[in-house]
Structure 1
Amino acid sequence: MTVSNTGQNILQYESTIWSTADLLRGCGIKESEWPSYMMPFFALVMIESRLLRMFDELKAELGQVMLNEIDADELISLIQDRGQGYNACIFEKHQTLKDICQNDKAFDIDFDGYLKGFDGETKDLLGVDVSEGEKFLDIKGVIAKLKAKKVLFSYVKAWSGIDLKPFNNSDITTLEEHIKRRWADISAETAGEQYTPDDVIALIAEIIAAKIEDSDRLLKIYDCTCGGGNLLFGVEDRIKEKVSRLTQTFGQDWNDALYALAKIESRFRVDSKIEHGNTLTDDKFFDDAFDVVIANPPYGVDWKGFQKDIRNDKTQRFHHLPSTEDGQLLFMQHLISKMSVTGMGVVVHNGSTLFSGDAGSAESNIRKWMLDQDLVEAIIQLPTDEFFNTGIYTYLWVLNQRKPDERKDRVMLINASEKFKPLKKNKGKKRKAIDEVSRLEIVETLEQWADHDYARVFDKEFFYFNKQGIMLTNVDEQGRTFADRLKDGKKGLKLKPIQLENGERVLREFTIFDPPEPKTAEDVDNWRGLEQYFLEEIKPFISSLDYKEQPLVITTEKALYYFDADQETLIKEALGKREALGCGKIVVKSVFKKGTKSKPECIVITVELTPDYQKDYEIIPYHRDGDENRAAIEAFMAKYITKPFEYLENVVGVEVNFNKVFYKPEQLRSVEKIYSEILELDQNLKRLEKEFEL
């Protein structure tokens, strides 16, 4: 199973690597558990291949003459000084994993010696000696399970035949991304935990590279949810292909196994730092600022479990805290806090970051803060079915601290949902890929900064809106309101009823001191005290009263009061006269009052007539100038609101709606076309009728 032909694409070895799972299937290991068995051994062959490649490079640098002159200890020191790891079995005994698998009799001892021959950090990442705490790749636990299944030797031998030494870091990163994607497919991972496809990585890198010039200044790249490092290292590799620039990569992730894979890879790269931990609660790079920030944070993942830490965060990263059910905008704020004063970024999100949360919500306020700070240069809608585990639309937020003057306070929306080629063979739920032509077209569109059929530039205020609260006063058919009947300062008219009737029940007591007396033996057995009588009978009855839906007549000593639903007005009848009082409410309330030393317990029922007020709000376009904005609100109200009202609070919200901007109405058929089709159908029906007559 040797794979060492550098003339061929490394991705052809994906199936070869995947075939190692045949043994797992054969011994009854569930497919969903395969990744935990495959990850440590994939890491093992990556490490060995890269160590061997590094050793060959070192020998080439030294030359044969120098190699003959230095002793073994000096050579070992030179290897260790490179900081890419060490294995005593490989460099001192000159035995690889494949060599160890040649002798099944001595395999257990030799394999144990091979694993323990690694340097301390590698052993920690692989989980060679771990007993408690972080196990990372947990190869020790996997080995124990494979021994119990009696397939350890065969499994290790299958992996030992995979030789990745001929391939460079970028090649191996690409292969790793495809392998990890398949692991995600079978691990029943949520749609929120995404591996970034290679074509999306290429687009992100192209966007960033277009803004970077050749320079001898170090470019610091950061991914706060780096996973196995595919996005971080993939972007670095592509930037280096486009631009002559020294780079340094930084990443953090709290998934044990993925962190270990990224950490292993980082050691074979120039100047790369990968840390383990929860970025939102334990930022390992709290003192650093970066030229480029990138991330594909988890979608819809809640942060209830560590909300106390975030609410008590002292870093001032989080200007607003979104719903605990979705932490995407926490990651967005964190990334912005990590950007240098001239930094830029590209962040992958689903649609919730565009529109979740109403005006005044944390989500809307975060979007507003980002636009207020003029951090957003563009938002790009990607095609559906782009990611391996979800078919939803995803979006690239392009952030920029140094927007050119012509782009200040403006945002471009690019609808790239049709910029793809269908895959010949689906990869999980991924059915589409952004091909090179589409990728370059998207980047060129961003660079040109001009409107056309799938891109538009807006002043940032286009995405703002006023949510103007109002208190409406409802009126009857004649435009009257009960509010006009009230004296200044009065909120309602309290009645002194002697009777309340709703068509089903008549109530004549409005201060009740005693529950009804029992009349039968059954009543005696079920006798209730006053409070129980209130809770079980009076309170539910009062709550059920609906003066608009059923007749409700309030009788006082001087008049009757009720609501005329047809005219939407309160009516007063007295001395044979019927008077419309205007639109209003009949408010009936009940309360149980506990007894005191001077007063007995009682139930009190009150009736009040009040104006019919109704809180509402209107969504109104926003204007940057305060006076213009107020004038626009007033003009809107004058045009559309006919009832009396008072202004309440105005809240400015922000949302981004791609459907609204790029909506294309369905093309309707002409009347002539429809008419001709009807005639044709009519003729066909007549023909069928004649055939039946025959």
Structure 2
Amino acid sequence: MKNFKEKADLIWKVADLLRGDYKQSDYGKVILPMTVLRRLDCILKPTKDKVLNYLPKVETLKEGAKDIALNKIAGHSFHNRSSFDFDKIVADPNNVAANLRNYINGFSTSAREIIEYFNFDDHIDRLDDPKADILFRVVKSFQEIDLSDMESIEMGYTFEELIRKFAEQSNETAGEHFTPREIIRLMVNLLFIEDIEILTIEGIVKTLYDPTAGTGGMLSGGEQYVKELNPKAELKVFGQEINPESYAICKADMLIKGQNPSNIKFGNTLSNDQLAEEQFDYQISNPPFGVDWKKAEKTIKAESDKKGMDGRFGAGLPRINDGSLLFLQHMISKMKDSGSRIAIVFSGSPLFTGAAESGESNIRKWIIENDWLEAVIALPDQLFYNTGINTYIWIVTNQKSDKRKGKVQLINATGAKDEELVKEGELEFNRFWQKMDRSLGNKRKKIIENGSERGIGFITNLYGNFEENEFVKILPNEFFGYWRITVEQPLKENGKVVKSKGQPKPDTSLRDYENIPFLKKDADGNLVQQTIETYFEEEVIPHLPEAWIDHSKTKVGYEINFTKYFYEFKPLRPLANIKADILALEEKTLETEKTVLNS
């Protein structure tokens, strides 16, 4: 493969022309659509004259039929019927804006739509304004970059390298539409590792879907993984994206790489699923963290009420300020009966937010009781551009292997256990992550990409080996369930129990609640079933002998308390050691003072 980074660097240098007229974070709004136009220009050049010569024969056809006929002549899923190309545009420097518009309008519908979603027409005016007067130089610079000598996948890598560069320029806003590539690689590894034997079958065809596609990084990451594993495999990708610019970039990426761009849809996935009838072999997503779903509330609630479990949101609705679990329910609705796998990254909230029988708890209950939750992987903090919080990858599937059935694997990949950082060059490493030499917004760490001993390889092996160790716990599904009971105590007046219909009347001021896990550890440390009654007799009655349970208020809940499961008690340091450290520090301070005073 040619060095795609060299091509990306050539294109990147064109952005220097925008300096002073554009903010650095906005360079991509010009460079990315221009890259798409130049790539399409290079691809279509060998057949451009044939298309123009054939054009009179199809002038009377309707637009759709005309596109089909001219695409066939062009030999691609798109064509350009304008008399202009990049060579002719730069040959007329006084009319660049008008000729460039004519050229763009000459593309077939699917290609032209991509440029329109970039809102590139506005930038033509801005670049052509006398104050800037850089449109010709930008077009000329691209005309001098030959993009015809690259395979589709190579051009895809070039385009994705540019997307990454421009996303990192915008730091805080990048996280809304761009997932760091090492996180994508890890998620893709976890998504596909159980199916390696299937994916290495010659000629195998599978589908991958991302309901929050952003710029298409996750779809591209999945496609790259499968191609590296089996060049003769085909992974058809699908997605939907709500942000117009991200949608344009994603669709352009698919077009450049030879995927079907019509598989990428525009709009709100939750309120307007444009792939409603589709199901997929694999799904992957990084939905927005902690973003409310007020705009889609009416539609989502209507679907939940009307369709119930026959719709996407029958299991429950989370609180309005975080729609993360809505995306997971949506993805579960797209699992094939024959088996599908999902990788999705969340904040900590979906693990434990919501009391028993709340929307969140009911969704977790539905997923776990159906034995769909395969694993949860806790990642380090400070991995994303726009947030420093800890994140978690969930693996969800309706095709668990026999050894995984009825169990959930938890992996603690936060690096919390690695107290000593090992120096390696100018960077600091631990088992899972590496400090970045330059922060990008809130991103100050990255998961180590190379080698099986650390980072991506190590986490992937922890997952694939499915063995308990200091980083891994394997727990039965029931472990995450609990009863929430209401504990009442009698109302007393003058020391006597007040009764109503012969029964003690509860004192609401003394009312309390207990969460009783479905499972408890026996004397040997094994998990065993427990009952509400046994727990109550052993844990409550000794302290509150007159208490009773109001069974009419008992609820069932599910939560995943990661911190508690991996917590290890560390005894306090001996007082003598602390005293010795303080004395040593005092002595060092006195020596420093003497040095300063004597200098």
With the length of structure 2 as denominator, give the TM-score of the two structures: 0.79
User: Of 512, 519, 526, which aligns to 1:616?
Assistant: 512
Alignment correspondent of 1:650: 554
Post-superposition Cα deviations, 1:88-136, rounded to whole Å, max 9, x if no partner, equal 35xxx6x642553244135345323322332222222212xxxxxxxx1
Letter in 2 for 1:231: M
Q: Secondary structure at the match of 1:390?
A: coil
User: Of 297, 302, 310, which aligns to 2:300?
Assistant: 310
Post-superposition Cα deviations, 1:233-286, rounded to whole Å, max 9, x if no partner, equal 221221121145332211111211221222233234245611112111121221
Alignment correspondent of 2:335: 339
Alignment correspondent of 2:283: 293
1:255 aligns with 2:243: yes
Cα distance, 1:653 vs structure 2: 1.9
User: Of 332, 344, 356, which aligns to 1:359?
Assistant: 356
Cα separation, 2, equivalents of 1:685 and 1:77: 82
Cα separation, 2, equivalents of 1:483 and 1:309: 56
Cα separation, 2, equivalents of 1:487 and 1:441: 63
Cα separation, 1, equivalents of 2:438 and 2:43: 31
Q: Secondary structure at the match of 1:673?
A: helix
User: Of 188, 213, 222, which aligns to 1:205?
Assistant: 188
Alignment correspondent of 2:11: 17
Cα separation, 2, equivalents of 1:686 and 1:81: 83
Alignment correspondent of 1:421: 434
Alignment correspondent of 2:366: 369
Q: Secondary structure at the match of 2:299?
A: helix
Change in 2 beyond 3 A, CA 1:80/1:210: farther
Cα separation, 2, equivalents of 1:250 and 1:467: 42
Alignment correspondent of 1:196: 179
Change in 2 beyond 3 A, CA 1:282/1:679: closer
| 2:378 and 2:392 in contact (8 A); partners too | yes
| 1:466 and 1:653 in contact (8 A); partners too | yes
Alignment correspondent of 1:436: 450
Count of aligned pairs between the two proteins: 536
With the length of structure 1 as denominator, give the TM-score of the two structures: 0.69
Alignment correspondent of 2:77: 84
Post-superposition Cα deviations, 1:139-171, rounded to whole Å, max 9, x if no partner, equal 222212222343322333334344443444444
Cα distance, 1:43 vs structure 2: 3.0
Alignment correspondent of 2:60: none
Pairing 1:500-539 to 2, within 5 Å after superposition: none
Q: Secondary structure at the match of 2:457?
A: helix
Post-superposition Cα deviations, 1:633-691, rounded to whole Å, max 9, x if no partner, equal 44322244455344352222222222212224446433443454577689999999xxx
Cα separation, 1, equivalents of 2:355 and 2:99: 63
Alignment correspondent of 1:497: none
Alignment correspondent of 1:153: 136
Cα distance, 1:421 vs structure 2: 3.1
Identity across the alignment (%):
30
Post-superposition Cα deviations, 1:332-355, rounded to whole Å, max 9, x if no partner, equal 000011011211111111211112
User: Of 485, 493, 501, which aligns to 1:468?
Assistant: 485
User: Of 238, 245, 250, which aligns to 2:225?
Assistant: 238
Post-superposition Cα deviations, 1:487-522, rounded to whole Å, max 9, x if no partner, equal 644999xxxxxxxxxxxxxxxxxxxxxxxxxxxxxx
User: Of 64, 69, 86, which aligns to 1:97?
Assistant: 86
Cα separation, 2, equivalents of 1:461 and 1:661: 15
Change in 2 beyond 3 A, CA 1:162/1:658: farther
Alignment correspondent of 1:543: none
Cα separation, 1, equivalents of 2:471 and 2:380: 13
Larger Rg: 1
| 2:317 and 2:326 in contact (8 A); partners too | yes
Q: Secondary structure at the match of 1:412?
A: strand
Cα separation, 1, equivalents of 2:441 and 2:336: 37
Letter in 2 for 1:434: I
Alignment correspondent of 1:383: 380
Q: Secondary structure at the match of 2:336?
A: strand
Cα separation, 1, equivalents of 2:456 and 2:590: 56
Cα distance, 1:482 vs structure 2: 4.3
Give the gaps of 5 or more residues in structure 2: 56-67, 416-431, 521-527, 593-599
1:673 aligns with 2:577: yes
Cα separation, 1, equivalents of 2:537 and 2:173: 47
Cα separation, 2, equivalents of 1:39 and 1:681: 57
Cα separation, 1, equivalents of 2:368 and 2:52: 63
Cα separation, 1, equivalents of 2:457 and 2:35: 34
1:227 aligns with 2:208: no
Cα separation, 2, equivalents of 1:355 and 1:487: 39
Change in 2 beyond 3 A, CA 1:618/1:138: same
Alignment correspondent of 1:554: none
The structure in which a higher percent of residues are strand is: 1
Letter in 2 for 1:87: N
Change in 2 beyond 3 A, CA 1:169/1:453: farther
Q: Secondary structure at the match of 1:660?
A: helix
Change in 2 beyond 3 A, CA 1:369/1:100: same
Post-superposition Cα deviations, 1:552-609, rounded to whole Å, max 9, x if no partner, equal xxxxxxxxxxxxxxxxxxxxxxxxxxxxxxxx9xxxxxxxxxxxxxxxxxxxxxxxxx
Post-superposition Cα deviations, 1:508-564, rounded to whole Å, max 9, x if no partner, equal xxxxxxxxxxxxxxxxxxxxxxxxxxxxxxxxxxxxxxxxxxxxxxxxxxxxxxxxx
Post-superposition Cα deviations, 1:185-210, rounded to whole Å, max 9, x if no partner, equal 55575586141222222222222332
Cα separation, 1, equivalents of 2:585 and 2:114: 74
User: Of 465, 469, 472, which aligns to 1:455?
Assistant: 472
Cα distance, 1:73 vs structure 2: 4.3
Cα distance, 1:83 vs structure 2: 4.2
Letter in 2 for 1:469: T
| 1:387 and 1:429 in contact (8 A); partners too | yes
Cα distance, 1:51 vs structure 2: 4.4
Give the gaps of 5 or more residues in structure 1: 1-5, 59-66, 128-135, 475-479, 493-583, 585-609, 689-694
Change in 2 beyond 3 A, CA 1:83/1:286: farther
Letter in 2 for 1:225: T
Cα separation, 1, equivalents of 2:69 and 2:96: 25
The structure in which a higher percent of residues are helix is: 2
Alignment correspondent of 1:513: none
Cα separation, 2, equivalents of 1:137 and 1:252: 16
Cα distance, 1:182 vs structure 2: 4.7
